[in-house]
Structure 1
């Protein structure tokens, strides 16, 4: 992956996250709370890994993260957070990564997810959004062939309300 992609991919991911934040908060006022978002993130991750025929090991790719969504440029209200978590998918043969990504995309598309970005040929990155709840999932293959699956909530109020 070239240096330009190292810079542009995180910017694209942040832009997608902030767009989801504004939509959820503007649409409902109240949101699910942090605990509910953590549960839904895990449900999305588990549902996704069920697409693989092989037994795989899920290795935490860091703790549950709750970065703030507020950004003066986007107009997102202060106090909203996004809940995210990821797993490295172990026990998948690296030489089968292309086929496994294809299988996962088919699974997502048949389970209410819409592809937001498909950069398999360039950076081995795919991003989808669940059409009902706005949760975003992404799959990235490292240079070493390790596949990481992440899920992120739309922006939420930690307690479910802005108060």
Structure 2
């Protein structure tokens, strides 16, 4: 769980300041992160069952110093259930291929055997994507929005 939380902090930090799109609302950002994860999972064989990681649901503060302190980032992370450990690297390659097919940038590939750690960024809207190994030999997909104004601010 420590690995997941540490990576979660990294996603929150890197999701900030990626776009000045004033039209991106919290609701639209939430829809987009859900779609990014679900579409990626839908491209995988075998198709995993998605299990929401509850800590990923509440919006978190935008940590980018160049952005308003009132802005937030929206994230979602899902465990990929039904993917055996011996399939982790196969799934990682499928995810990287799918992201590239979508025109996304794969910005980091770090992995120990059977423990994928892959991140990407969508174009042109700059959402952060990740496929990461967590404790218990499970992998999860996550997506984080650029900094947005919370709905309560509007």
Q: TM-score, normalised by structure 1?
A: 0.79
**Residues 35-84 of structure 1, C-alpha deviations (whole Å, 9 max, x = no match):** 1111111110111001112232111111513111145xx33212110000
SS at match of 2:36: helix
Aligned residue runs from structure 1 range 10-49, under 5 A: 12-17=10-15, 21-25=16-20, 28=21, 30-49=22-41
2:100 corresponds in structure 1 to 109
Task: Please tell me whether the aligned partners of residues 81 and 157 of structure 1 are also in contact (alpha carbons under 8 angstroms).
Answer: yes
Q: Residues of 2 paired with 1:99 and 1:133: CA distance?
A: 27
Alpha-carbon distance change, 50 to 8 in structure 1, aligned in 2, over 3 angstroms: closer
Greater Rg over alpha carbons, structure: 1
Runs of 4+ in 1 over 6 A off after TM superposition: 5-8
Aligned CA-pair RMSD: 2.7
**Residues 13-47 of structure 1, C-alpha deviations (whole Å, 9 max, x = no match):** 45422xxx32413xx4x231111111111110111
Task: Please tell me whether the aligned partners of residues 4 and 134 of structure 2 are also in contact (alpha carbons under 8 angstroms).
Answer: no
Q: How many residues align?
A: 151
SS at match of 1:46: helix
Alpha-carbon distance change, 144 to 135 in structure 1, aligned in 2, over 3 angstroms: same
Q: TM-score, normalised by structure 2?
A: 0.83
Stretches of structure 1 lacking an aligned partner (at least 5 in a row): none
Stretches of structure 2 lacking an aligned partner (at least 5 in a row): none
